[in-house]
Chain A
Amino acid sequence: MDMIYLVFLIFLSGAVISWLAGKVNHVLQDILFLASVIVPSVLFYMNVSVGQEVHFKAGGIDLSWGITDFGWIFSLIVLGLGVLAAIYSVGFMKGKERRGYFYFNYVLSIMSMLGILFSKDFVSFFIFWEIMTWSSYLMVIYNGKHTQSIGIKYFIFSAIGAYAMLMAIVISHSVTGNFMIADLITAYPVLSFNLQVLIPVLLLTGFGVKTAIMPLHVWAPGAYSNSPMAFTSVFSGALSKMGVYGLSIVMLSMISHLPEGFWFREVLAWMGAVTAATGTLWAIKQDDAKKLLAYSSVAQLGYIVTGIAIGTELSILAGLFLAVMHAIFKSTLFMAVGAIERQTGTTNFTEVTGLIRKMPWTFLASLMSIIALAGIPPLGGFVGKWMLYESLITSDHYMLIILVFFSSTAAFLYCYKFLFGFFLGQEEKEWAHVKEAPVLMVIPMLVLAGLSFVLGTFPGLLLKPIDAGMQALGFAPTNQHLWDTSILFNSWGNQVALQPILYAILAIFVVFTIFLTIKGYKNTRYVTTKDISSSGEVPKEHENLTFSVNFFQPFLRAVEPVMRRQIDKYYNGFANGLEALFDFTRKIYTGNGQTYAIYVILFLIIMLLMKNNIFG
């Protein structure tokens, strides 16, 4: 059978088998799980090429699967991250219960994400989208009772988005006569104006929920922080990018052909920028690492959305590049938090500090990822951020630039908090026993950290596939390559001016440090953290010298008014109001049999009186 079928079949059967294998043997289950993720990925990259398609019918509907150049970029994220996080999960899940459940949902999530990229028709797209939703929902509620309301909130928002998408899908069917995505794209420019507005709005609602744009983001902090960290890396890294994938297709294939599409782009760009700004502010406020990373994810996704929304070649490049980079560094950070949680039992900054000597590899991976997140050269995040800023300036969006700059700068605050809070600072006695995380957990982190370094140095490696993908969507480059509009790159897509200077500076710095260390080696002596004296006072044992807690109080006081309005509260109020309304309407069924009979007679009388109005 065709290779594409085989890939999906292995995923599906692998999910079921690794669930059942738990009853037999744990090691066998781990091996089967890894196999069911790695084998199809390898098969995919070796045997399936872009443009290969399969067609079949189900229920009288034509379905068609095949990967495009654009989808190929995202498949890198999905499968690459999927394999690495799978290795991480095996280490993460040692000794935990319900492993079969975890593995089952994990494999299904990866399969459905790949399926979304493969779908050339809307029905398969929707089917895979929904499978992705409920398998990730089952992961969110993995931890038990207190996650129930969070899980339901996630599912409801996903369902609202998915049903909006479904409405757009059936409207598209009524217009084009079949469910093919390509047909909607070709038919789009000639639709009536109402439909031209309605269909993208509905589709964008669906994708916006997964991409956590405001105001559809309220599920994200809870869902990201409460699912097991091994899955959150995939959740925040790959799953949210599915929304980005859909968003890009809508914006690039449909809206860009519309003269009025300008307003769409502006609104969406603003929403993205506002999300970025408020997400960053909320991230700074958090004391729990998981929540911090969750809000930070929302903020980063805001950048990506702004990039894609603006619509110039450079901005879309920026958005997509940032998407891949975000997948890499955010998943590493979540993995690091998972490792810390496993070794220390908590993820709260106020409780855990000083882990740098005990978990050096975790620290190294987190350091690289934080540098990439903050957008500091020479790592990958810098390239993406530079392209974003450059595109915003060259397209004259000055107000947006201010917002984006502000949130990028404020992001430094929580980056610092993350690093300092966990790793630096004084060591506490209660964490003296902490050891490094198991090898299976450390290796994926280091691989991903290394990737962000490589992509930062040679961004052309990523820019070329993105270029090909964008051309597949219909973007014709004005110059030879799409990235030529930026001053940053040379013709191979590698950074041109900054790189050598930067490496020179780094080299000088490293040489200097080594020189100083060797020079002063004989004269150094080791001291503990508390061996200081400030104004003659020696700190006592119990005093906490870590000042990463609450050190930016003035800043928070300044932005307090912005953060007072929480969209979450509005949603809760709305839901409670609805439930009260339903409580009122259900009183129709009074329980008195005679009342029901009176309803019947009333119905009859009304029908008889109005019969000429109702019936022809």
Chain B
Amino acid sequence: MFKYIEFSIYGASILLILIGLYGALVKKSLIKIVIGLSIVDAGVHLIFVAMGYIRGGTAPIFSPGFENDASRMVDPIPQALVLTAIVIGFAVTAVALSLVIRLYKHHDTLRIDEIKNLKW
């Protein structure tokens, strides 16, 4: 039964990535693109953490009763990496949204295929 949980988590994260890519590549509105990129990030983070899961493992924190029991802990490295990645993703989304605001002020539209002043 656990196998199904793992598969569903992997499947869900891959689905998230694909949905996010769809949003970023097909949708024309700038906000939807930014949201799509966010969703892609979420999917990647999810799949990364899920990769570190060990069946029956517990949180990788040394607490009373669980010292030196590292073999029963989930892999902490992906969690650390994903924390960093979440922060980075959040910062990038913030910059993206501020750019969207500026673009709207400049061009009066949110459609990406109408913002083509720089081409060729």
Interface on A for B, CB 8 Å cutoff? Answer: 586-587, 589-594, 597-598, 601
CB atoms of A598 and B25 under 8 A apart: yes
> Which A residues lie within 8 Å of B118 (CB)?
591
CB atoms of A594 and B120 under 8 A apart: no
> Which B residues lie within 8 Å of A586 (CB)?
120
Q: How far is the CB of A580 from chain B (nearest CB, A)?
A: 14
CB-CB nearest 4 A-B residue pairs: A591-B119, A591-B116, A586-B120, A592-B113
Number of A-B contacts defined by CB within 8 Å: 29
Asked if B44 is at the interface of the complex by the 8 Å CB criterion, the answer is no
From A591, A598, A601, residue with most partner B Cβ within 10 Å:
A591
CB atoms of B119 and A590 under 8 A apart: yes
Q: How far is the CB of B92 from chain A (nearest CB, A)?
A: 15
> Which B residues lie within 8 Å of A591 (CB)?
116-120
Indicate which residue in B25, B117, B119 contacts A594 across the interface (CB closer than 8 Å).
B25
Asked if B21 is at the interface of the complex by the 8 Å CB criterion, the answer is yes
Interface on B for A, CB 8 Å cutoff? Answer: 21, 24-25, 28, 33, 112-113, 115-120
From B21, B33, B113, residue with most partner A Cβ within 10 Å:
B113
- Expressed in whole angstroms, the Cα–Cα distance for A594 and B21 within the complex equals 11
Q: How far is the CB of A592 from chain B (nearest CB, A)?
A: 5
- Expressed in whole angstroms, the Cα–Cα distance for A198 and B24 within the complex equals 52
- Expressed in whole angstroms, the Cα–Cα distance for A235 and B102 within the complex equals 59
Q: How far is the CB of B34 from chain A (nearest CB, A)?
A: 12
Write 15 A-B pairs (CB below 8 A) sorted by A numbering: A586-B120, A590-B120, A591-B117, A591-B118, A592-B112, A592-B116, A592-B119, A593-B112, A594-B24, A594-B33, A594-B112, A597-B24, A597-B25, A598-B25, A601-B25
12 additional contacts, CB 8 Å, given A589-B120, A592-B113?
A587-B120, A590-B120, A591-B116, A591-B119, A591-B120, A592-B119, A593-B112, A594-B25, A594-B28, A594-B33, A597-B25, A601-B21
User: Residue of B at shortest CB range from A590?
Assistant: B119
- Expressed in whole angstroms, the Cα–Cα distance for A586 and B119 within the complex equals 9
User: Residue of B at shortest CB range from A591?
Assistant: B119
> Which B residues lie within 8 Å of A592 (CB)?
112-113, 116, 119
- Expressed in whole angstroms, the Cα–Cα distance for A591 and B113 within the complex equals 8
- Expressed in whole angstroms, the Cα–Cα distance for A506 and B18 within the complex equals 100
> Which A residues lie within 8 Å of B117 (CB)?
591
- Expressed in whole angstroms, the Cα–Cα distance for A592 and B113 within the complex equals 6
User: Residue of A at shortest CB range from B33?
Assistant: A594
- Expressed in whole angstroms, the Cα–Cα distance for A593 and B115 within the complex equals 9
- Expressed in whole angstroms, the Cα–Cα distance for A43 and B115 within the complex equals 68
- Expressed in whole angstroms, the Cα–Cα distance for A587 and B25 within the complex equals 20
- Expressed in whole angstroms, the Cα–Cα distance for A334 and B68 within the complex equals 97
> Which B residues lie within 8 Å of A597 (CB)?
24-25
- Expressed in whole angstroms, the Cα–Cα distance for A597 and B115 within the complex equals 15
- Expressed in whole angstroms, the Cα–Cα distance for A587 and B120 within the complex equals 5
- Expressed in whole angstroms, the Cα–Cα distance for A601 and B23 within the complex equals 13
CB atoms of A590 and B21 under 8 A apart: no
User: Residue of B at shortest CB range from A587?
Assistant: B120
